[in-house]
Amino acid sequence: MRTRFSCVLAVMLALHGAPSFAETAAPGPAVPEPAAAKQAVFTQEQLDQMLAPIALYPDPLLAQVLMASTYPGEVAEAVTWSKAHPDAKGDDAVKQVASQPWDPSVQALVAFPQVLATLGQDPVWVQRLGDAFLAQPDDLMNGVQRLRQQAKAAGNLQSNQYQNVTVQAAPASTPAANQSAPASNQTIIIQPADPQTVYVPSYNPTTTYGTWAYPASPPAYYPPPPAYYPGQALVAGLAFGTGVAIVASLWGDCDWNHHDVDIDVNRYNSLNVNNQINTINNKWQHNPVHRDGVPYRDARNREQYGRQLDGARDRAAYRGDDAQRARERQNALNSLDRHGIERPATSNVQARDRVREAQAQRNDSRLAERRQDAPRTNPAIQQRQGQGQARQQLAQRQGAGAARNNAFDGVRSPSRSSLQADRGRTSQAFAQRGGGQRAAGQQVSRPSGGGGRFHGGGRR
């Protein structure tokens, strides 16, 4: 049965155009509906390499970075905004971008300009980090713990006036479900020493973790921006710059037991007054609308979030703003190109979307043509137009017939012809008397139905 399921899974992934990476499927849950297979798009070596610059961030800040990295285009826009507002930080900076069309996790990062300055140095790294968090959350969170344990063993991770480092027993793990497991059965938690003042550590990952396990793939080092690290207070290999005073800017936290992110709803709602959430929504969920057209790297997320986007597009089409959304998406893609965001190979979902958009454009064109050609092609309209033309022709014939009837009316009616002759002789008598004055007592013959134009004793 398991072999049959694996074969079916392989066929499904092939049909969805999944890239040829090693795959590890999680065992099916004990519920009737099978769990979606997770695709290992990055190796442990690649995960450690991309996590090294941020693995020692305080847990709440790390959670914010992981959430925001799933929207790489919006992170790039936030980096640009932060550069244009170098003095903005903390909760006040987040309030200034409340009107920006970014996900709240991205808006929260403007509270920490030194973090955005680091993320802005490598947009492709940010995108891959988000892809890893969506596709391999278990492997990614285990990778953070493995790197923290290495830094602690090297003497470069300990509590001080800037942070509190605690060690807890790790929950029972299921290595078979993960590509990589923690280096030990301990979980290292990093929290700000003062919850309302956050110090962002900067360090050289090539030395902070001791001897790097992958000499052929050293981690990238992003030097700290000098403006935010005056004097660089070095503590056990970490540089702590100026602290950022906050109250609600960090509303996420790492859940090491479930390998996801918890949300402090009260802090979130106190800052995001225009985007409130319910108190039961304390687990972060990715919103594909803010992905801005960046393809998902793994088949599972392409399928899951592709369906959500299809539903959103259907609702947008019902409201009549599908064309507007298409323009916004194209603008977003242009923005990604400007910021150097990587575009993975075109997925089946993208191809399907393009086909649907092209079909919608063709349907719009055909509809416009039908509206223009309706008088010529619609039988009902043709029938109504033919009836109108027939009535018009009939009225014209009746008018012409009326004129002919007047001209030949005397032929058909001798009595009327005699009256008309009498009227003509009377007119001539008026003319002969010069002035149109009729003789006294002379009666004027009127045509039948004349309407009383002449009266005895009066002037015409």
H or E, element range at 169: strand 163-169
Q: Please tell me the total count of domains within the chain.
A: 1
CA distance 192 to 149: 18
Per-residue pLDDT, 397: 59
Say if 319 falls within a structural domain: no
Q: What average pLDDT score do residues 308-322 get?
A: 55
- Give the domain range for residue 220: 39-286
Say if 138 falls within a structural domain: yes
Say if 120 falls within a structural domain: yes
CA distance 336 to 343: 9
User: What are the C-alpha distances in Å from 322 to residues 209, 225, 311, 325?
Assistant: 50, 42, 12, 5
* Cβ partners under 8 Å of residue 95, min gap 6: 271
pLDDT higher at 253 or 439: 253
* pLDDT mean across residues, the chain: 74
CA distance 66 to 127: 10
- The top-scoring range by mean pLDDT among 23-32, 63-72, 170-179 is 63-72
* Cβ partners under 8 Å of residue 319, min gap 6: none
Contact status, residue 115 vs residue 225, Cβ threshold 8 Å: no
* Cβ partners under 8 Å of residue 334, min gap 6: none
Whether the per-residue pLDDT at 82 is higher than 80: the answer is yes
Q: Which of 163, 246, 161, 164 is nearest to 197 (CA)?
A: 246
Give 163-170 contacts, CB < 8 A, sequence gap 24+. Answer: 163/58, 163/190, 163/191, 163/192, 163/193, 163/199, 163/201, 164/190, 164/191, 164/192, 164/193, 165/189, 165/190, 166/191, 170/145, 170/256
With pLDDT > 90 as the criterion, what percentage of the chain qualifies?
Answer: 47
137-153 vs 44-51: helix crossing angle, rounded to 10 = 60
Say if 302 falls within a structural domain: no
- Which range is least confidently modeled, 19-28, 89-98, 121-130, 301-310? 19-28
Say if 217 falls within a structural domain: yes
Say if 112 falls within a structural domain: yes
Q: Which of 70, 17, 55 is nearest to 39 (CA)?
A: 17
pLDDT confidence bin for 124, thresholds 50/70/90:
very high
Whether the per-residue pLDDT at 428 is higher than 80: the answer is no
Contact status, residue 140 vs residue 47, Cβ threshold 8 Å: yes
pLDDT confidence bin for 331, thresholds 50/70/90:
low
**Three-class SS of residue 434?**
coil
Say if 381 falls within a structural domain: no
**Three-class SS of residue 253?**
strand
CA distance 170 to 148: 13
Q: What average pLDDT score do residues 285-301 get?
A: 92
Whether the per-residue pLDDT at 390 is higher than 90: the answer is no
What DSSP line would sit under 296-354, residue for residue?
PSSHHHHHHHHHHHHHHHHHHHHHT-HHHHHHHHHHHHHHHHHHT----SPPHHHHHHH
Say if 363 falls within a structural domain: no
Whether the per-residue pLDDT at 314 is higher than 90: the answer is no
Q: What average pLDDT score do residues 193-202 get?
A: 94
